[in-house]
Amino acid sequence: MTPLNRRNILKASGVIGVAAATTWTWPASASVAGTGVGTDPRWVWDDEADPLVASLIERGDVPMVNTLLRTWKKNGQPLPDGLPADLRDFMERARRLPPWVDRAKLRLAVDFNEKRGLYLGVLYGLASGMMSTVIPKEALAVYYSQGGADMKDRISKTAKLGYDIGAVDAYEPEGEMIVTAVKTRLVHAAVRHLLPQSPYWTKVADEDIPISQRDIMVTWHSLPTTVMRKLTDWKVPIPAAESAAFLHSWQVGAHLLGVRDEYIPNSWAEADAQATEVLDPILRPTPEGIKLADILLNLGKDIDGGLLTKGILGAFTRFMLGDEIAGWLRIPRELVWDPLLKTAWGPFIAVREGLLPLPLAPKAYWLFDEFLRKAALLFLSEAKPISIEIPLTNRPT
């Protein structure tokens, strides 16, 4: 079967995107906005960023913009001088926190992250990260865009978002989450402009424009919703206020990524309901996703003499995502690590949670977990500054 025929068949059958064959039924009344027009987000992209970034690319302004934006790192920093006026105006609007932001919840989210940083790091990397390879539209967009040519660099930028949203000053002036989100929004707009020009992506994609608002929410659910589902499965005792605060930090993140408020769930129950509609049914393997998964599983071989082997990371993936997804990704069973994780993970969590009431435990956990997170970022970035930049090309081959 030729790639072109494959694309036509996929478009007709909806094999790649089950979402293409489903109706958007999740109600806007369940969102942080509480209301909305009800448009299926599969047909909504970014009315502000998309034409702006396309114009920057066509005008030849992107190299200059990327150079200037490398100096913009902290939320409270003014935008650098010299940016095109239309871009500056957009970014000043895009960096504003939504009117419904709750500062008290954002502060409480820090407490949640301090206590559960280790779980979050593992889940973001080996549950959410590996799940992205079986989200078909995301796998195709990543593989055929510029990021697919250097997955270590691509993952470092994704990891930075996860790190920044969990930092103690995430949305404060000295934090970096607002900057990271706005830059990522610009990157998404560039990919929407560039990927339709790729002869490789257009042959296999079942859509004409990638990264719809529905796609962003699918990815969003692979992160906080999946994390909370797993923490619940593991019976991690989380105070209701801290759980809501963690959700709020991600609600604000979705807004800054350009998602319309009417698509952002207002509670964990509604997040789970939306994920059941848009995430769970569409998970499936693609040739591109299988290749990406193999690249990700091999990243650990360079850490500390190969301590994190492909087998260990594969076992963690199987433990986090289950046998079906592990089978899709052609991850072999591990005779030692598979049973060990099933046997030891529950007691490990019980011991760790049991020590939390001790006076110094939360801070000690945070320091240890923070060291691991920073070490991971240093490895992925090869000790260079992580710079989220607007791409100018797709994957060349």
* CB < 8 Å & 24+ apart, contacts of 236-243: 236/116, 236/119, 236/349, 236/353, 237/353, 238/112, 238/116, 241/108, 242/108, 242/109, 242/111, 242/112, 242/115, 243/112, 243/268
Residue 107, pLDDT score: 95
Helix (H) / strand (E) element for 383: namely none
Highest mean pLDDT among 147-151, 280-284, 300-304: 280-284
Helix ranges, 279-382 (H): 287-298, 310-321, 323-328, 337-355, 361-381
For residue 141, being part of any structural domain is answered with yes
Domain assignment of residue 334, yes or no:
no
* DSSP structure string for 39-65: --GGG---TTHHHHHHHHHHHT-HHHH
Residue 66 confidence (pLDDT): 97
Minimal CA–CA distance to 179: which of 112, 99, 105, 97?
97
Check if the beta carbon of residue 292 is closer than 8 Å to that of residue 148. Answer: yes
Domain-embedded: residue 222: yes
Q: What are the pLDDT digits (tens) for 312-327?
A: 888 989 999 999 999 9
354-366 mean pLDDT: 56
Confidence (pLDDT) at 368: 44
Residue 148 banded pLDDT, cuts 50, 70, 90: confident
Q: Which domain holds residue 242?
A: 44-282
Query: Is 62 within the bounds of a domain?
Result: yes
pLDDT tens digits, 172-205 = 999 999 999 999 999 999 999 999 999 999 999 9
Is residue 3 scored above 50 in pLDDT?
A: no
Q: Is residue 351 included in any domain, yes or no?
A: no
Q: What is the pLDDT of residues 229-251, one digit of tens each?
A: 999 999 998 999 999 999 999 99
Give the SS3 label for residue 145.
strand
Q: Tell me whether residue 49 is exposed, middle or buried, using C-beta atoms within 10 angstroms of its C-beta: 0 to 12, 13 to 18, 19 or more.
A: buried
Domain count for the chain, please give it: 1
Residue pair 146/393 in contact by the 8 Å Cβ criterion: yes
Instruction: Say yes or no to pLDDT of 360 above 60.
Output: no
C-alpha–C-alpha distance, residues 170 and 179, integer Å: 10
120 in a domain, yes or no? yes
Structural domain includes residue 38: no
Q: Is residue 103 part of a domain?
A: yes
Could you tell me the pLDDT band of residue 2, with boundaries at 50, 70 and 90? very low
- Give the angle 46-51-53 at the CA atoms, nearest 5°: 95
What's the mean per-residue pLDDT of the chain? 86
Residue 11 has pLDDT above 50, yes or no: no
pLDDT score at 300 = 67
- Binned at pLDDT 50, 70 and 90, residue 380 comes out as very low
